[in-house]
Structures are given as C-alpha cells and as structure tokens.
Structure 1
C-alpha cells in the first residue's frame, strides 16, 4: 500500500480537545473554581504536548492552518505553564532573577499571542461559522486578558474568562463534529463568513 493510499486519522480532534479542555480549566481557575495545579498539568500534557504533536501531524496533511494553529497554541500552553512554574517560584527566582515576572511581563506575553491570533481569525472566516466563532471568541478573550494584565481591570478579566469558556466549548464542539462525521452523524458548522 503506497503512502498516498494510507488513511490517516484527523489530528484536529486531538488538537481541538487539548485546546478546549485546557482553556476550560484555565477559566475555571481564573473564576476561582480551582487552583493552578490542574492548569499546569493539563497545559503541559494535553493542551501543550498533545496539541503540538497534532499540529505537526497537520503538516503531513498539508494543512497550513492546522499546522500553525495547533503547533502555535501547543507552544503557548507549554510556555505559559513553564512561565508560571518558574516565574513564580521564589527560590528559583532568587537564584535566576531573569525568570522573575515583572508587572507587565504576562500582559506583553498575552499581547504577542493576541497578535498571533488575529491572522488566524481572519483566515478562519473562510472556513465556516463554528471555526470563525472559535477564533473570534479567542481574540476577544486575549484582548480581555491583555487589559486585565496591563491595566489591572478586573472586569476585563472576568469578561475574558466567560468569553473563553464559550471559546473552549466551541473548540470541543468542533472536535465532536469531526468525531461524529466518521459515524455518519453530520453536525452543523455554518457557512463561511466570506
């Protein structure tokens, strides 16, 4: 059997699941319903590593959108978790002061990811409504987090948390769409926005 005849699984199901579940747990933390530990472990293992692998598998499928999005957000989760682990560790920071968070470090980190997300949102509008809404809520969520971290606006942080819960459920819905499609169950995703 040639390589072109081999049927590959859809790596997007893992990428979307990792992104959706980790985003959900982080917002539960941001709203005060759980500690940071589940975010760190889920972010390193599923939202980070598994999503990164899914992105690399999208490369093999010649899907630049999935390749960029899943590897990018996989790296986001890994780097965010490492920043939180090492940047808030008082003993480690004392020995390695470069690791310490300044007042604006997390905010500028999130601004960078906002900039990364905007072109993906624009491209998502050519796919279908469910994907466009996922990226729209992600852009809004990042903007809310940027404002919270850079200005101290708690209301922007609360808005971002609820908005990103919607984003998480949209990502999990897209995962479900792909899984159900193999069983012949077609869920609606809506038309492209343009």
Structure 2
C-alpha cells in the first residue's frame, strides 16, 4: 500500500528544490503556541518547551533558512535562520544558568533581549508588505508579542505576560495556518486556504 498521493499535482518550473517555507512557518508556529500556552499560565516551563525550542523551533527553522538561501530568497534566509537561532538562544538563556556556566539573565537583560528582537521583527514586517497578507499578520502579531513581553518584564505585571501569552497563541496559530496553506495549495494546485494576494511589485 503506497502513501504517495496519486492525485495529479501542478508542477511549476523551477530550481528543483522544494519550498522550505511551510517547514519554517510550522516550526515557528507550533513552538510559539506551546511556549505561549505557558505564558498564558496554563502550565509551567518544562522540558517539552525546551525540546521544541531546540529541535523544531530551532534546528528545523535553521534548516529551512539554509534551503531558502539555495532558492535565492534573502527574506526567507534571514527570517527562518534568525528565528531558528532565536529559539536556540532562548533555550540557552534558560538552561545555561542551570548548568552553572553563567549567571541567569537579569530582568533588565531580558528586556533588552526581547526589545532587540521586537525591533528586528518590526523591520522584517516591512518586507512582508511585498509578500502576502498572511505573512503580514504573522510578523505584525509577532512584533506586538515581543513588545508585550517587554512590557510584562518592565512592569512586573503578570497580567500583561498572560495577555502576551494569548496574543502569542494567535501569532503562532497564524504561522501554522500560513505554513499549512502553502502545503495544501501546492499539493492541490489551487487555493485551498487563502493567504491573501501577493503585493504588486
């Protein structure tokens, strides 16, 4: 019994390299949802989040970014590789102090860390204005997420962090939607899940 689809798929002329964007988007989205379920207060920080951050949010996104480089996609390379290493660095920030290699980051240090990632994301958002509406939503909501987390750490208000958690779940789900839409639209050769029109160049 074969598991290979027998439905005809529209094949586009290209470089022979599969589209890595769905992998990167789903890796980012699923890891973001799980971390922000924690931020929303539903469960503690645990090894499940660390493992997702290392292997799916981290390594899978870096792999997606490297493939984007082979496809000559500078935006994809920059975004997926950067956020892959974001997840790896975040796990490092949490695990390294437990190993005794360095002191834990202070609240001020975390505010700076999250702020610089928020600024970086805001800058990338402008790149999405030449892409599709779904990606615009992902990057806009991610920018908001970073600055909500900054506000939560700066004020010490747990309710802001919980709000950031719910907003982060929405951001992560939007990335999963965009990734799955890319897969299904390619497999079926038509728009199964809309992602919005590509902006005119």
TM-score (norm 2): 0.85
1:145 aligns with 2:149: yes
Aligned mate of 2:58, from 48, 58, 68: 48
SS at match of 2:197: coil
Counterpart among 44, 60, 63 of residue 35 in structure 1: 44
Q: Aligned pairs, how many?
A: 185
* Local SS of the residue matching 2:16: coil
Work out whether 1:26 is the aligned partner of 2:32.
no
Aligned-residue CA RMSD in angstroms? Answer: 1.8
Instruction: Report the counterpart of residue 96 of structure 2 in structure 1.
Output: 86
Q: How does the TM-score come out when normalised to structure 1? A: 0.88
2:195 to 184, 189, 193: 189
- Return the alpha-carbon distance in structure 2 between the equivalents of residues 19 and 174 of structure 1: 11
- 2:107 corresponds to which residue? 103
1:13-69 CA-partner distances (Å, limit 9, x unpaired) = 110111001001001111222332211000000000111110111011011111000
Decide which of 11, 17, 22 is 1:13's aligned counterpart.
22
**Per-residue CA distance 1:75-109 (angstroms, 9 max, x = gap):** 0000000110113x2xx44xx4x432223122211
Q: Which has the higher helix share?
A: 1
Structure 1 residue 6 displacement after superposition:
5.1
Report the secondary structure of 1:104's partner residue: helix
Distance in 2, matches of 1:84 and 1:190, equals 37
Query: What is residue 129 of structure 2 aligned with on the other side?
Result: 125
Q: How far off is 1:192 after superposition?
A: 5.2
More moved, 72-81 vs 100-109: 100-109
- 1:99 counterpart SS class: coil
Q: Unpaired segments of 5 or more residues in structure 2?
A: 1-12
Relative contact order (alpha carbons < 8 A, sep ≥ 6): 1 or 2 greater? 2
**Matched residues in 2 for 1:193 and 1:154: separation?**
39
